[in-house]
Amino acid sequence: MVFIREKERNLYTDSELVDLYRKDGDLNVLALLYQRYMDLIYGVCLKYFKDPEAAKDAVINIYEELITKLKQHEVSNFKSWLYTLSRNHCLMLLRKEKGHATVEISDSFMQNEEMLHLDAVKQKEEQLNSMEKCLEQLSSEQKTCVTLFYLEGKCYNDITEQTGIEWNKVRSYIQNGRRNLKLCMETTHADRS
C-alpha cells in the first residue's frame, strides 16, 4: 500500500499514478488519480444524460469500471483514455434505455424481393443456356480449350498435356473461342430483346 501525503498529491504525474495502481492495485492511488478528473467526467455524463442525478451515478459507476479496466489496458494518456471510457459508458447506458427499435416490413415488400430474386435466377439460367448453345457453335478445338480453361480451371500447360495441342495454339484457341463466345451471346441477347 502506498501512502501519499496531501502535500505530495500533485508531485505525481498521471502516468506515475497509473503505474503505481497497476503495480500494487491500491485503490487510494486510483482514487487520487480519479479525483483529478471527476469534474471532467461529471461534465461528460451531464452532457449525455442531461440529469444531474444520473450523471452522479454514472461518475460512481465509471470509477468502479476503472478499477478493472485500468489493469487490463495499456494507457499512455490517462485523461483522454478516461474521457473515452466515460463517453462509451454513457453511450452504452443510453442504448440500453432506448432498447432495440423494430421495423415492420409489409408483406408486399417481401413479395417484391422474392420476385426480384426469381427474376435474377431466371436471367442467370437464360445466360447459362445461351452460353451452352454458343459453346456448341465453336470449333471443336476452341470448345475443348475454352471448356478446359474456364470451366475446369486448367492452365495452358495442363491443356497442352491433356489434348496434345501445342501451347501457342491452345492460347490462340482460348482467345478466339472467348471472343466468338462473347459475340454469339451478345447476338443471342440482342435477338431476344
What are the 10-residue block averages of pLDDT along the chain, 193 residues in total?
A: 53 90 91 93 92 94 93 90 93 79 46 56 78 88 89 89 93 92 83 66
pLDDT at position 1 is 42
pLDDT at position 66 is 93
Q: Residue 74 has which C-alpha cell?
A: 495499456
Pairwise CA distance, residues 71 & 155, whole Å: 56
Structure pTM?
0.48
pLDDT at position 124 is 77
pLDDT at position 102 is 41
pLDDT at position 116 is 55
The answer to whether the CB of 90 falls within 8 A of the CB of 45 is yes
Q: Report the run of H or E that residue 89 belongs to, with start and end.
A: helix 78-98
The answer to whether the CB of 146 falls within 8 A of the CB of 135 is yes
pLDDT at position 157 is 92
pLDDT at position 104 is 44
CATH no. for 6-98: 1.10.1740.10
The answer to whether the CB of 34 falls within 8 A of the CB of 7 is no
Pairwise CA distance, residues 114 & 123, whole Å: 14
The ranges assigned to domains in the chain are 6-98, 133-193
pLDDT at position 129 is 81
CATH class, domain 133-193, is mainly alpha
pLDDT at position 83 is 93
pLDDT at position 40 is 92
Sign for the CA dihedral angle at 120, 121, 122, 126 comes to positive
pLDDT at position 33 is 92
